[in-house]
Amino acid sequence: MKQMLLVFLGGGLGSMLRFLISKTYNPYFTNFYLGTFLVNSMGCLLIGFLLGLSAKGNYLSQNQTLLLATGFCGGFTTFSSFAFENFSFLKASELLNFSLYTLSSMILGVIAVASGLWISKLL
């Protein structure tokens, strides 16, 4: 129960910060989501740093990793998790899995958004 609460709290904080950054920076460009781009880039950097510290051993506890990496970064951006998972495939020289996971995630994601929009129009 404590672990779920840590993920919940971190996720809420990450989501609020993502909202504030996107609201602040997205209006500056009409053809580029600067806020979202910044959030995704910062989230990737942060999850890499946090999981690197966690892997070293004594730097972050399991609960701190849940709060910060799983919760905060997960709420801040799921792109950070996606990028880390793809990096794991590359690090393990699993180029086929990297390619399949990346392409299928992006294609299915776009199809899912389009489908959701289409379904919402039916209601």
Q: Is 74 annotated as a binding residue?
A: yes
Token code pair at residue 15: 């989501």
3-9, long-range: CB < 8 A, 24+ apart: 3/63, 3/66, 6/63, 6/66, 6/67, 6/71, 7/66, 7/67, 7/70, 7/71, 7/74, 8/71, 9/67, 9/71
Cα-atom radius of gyration of the chain, to the nearest Å?
A: 17
Q: Is 116 annotated as a binding residue?
A: no
SS3 for 32? coil
Give, as one character, the DSSP assignment of residue 95. Answer: H
Binding-site positions for Na(+) read 74, 77
Binding-site positions read 74, 77
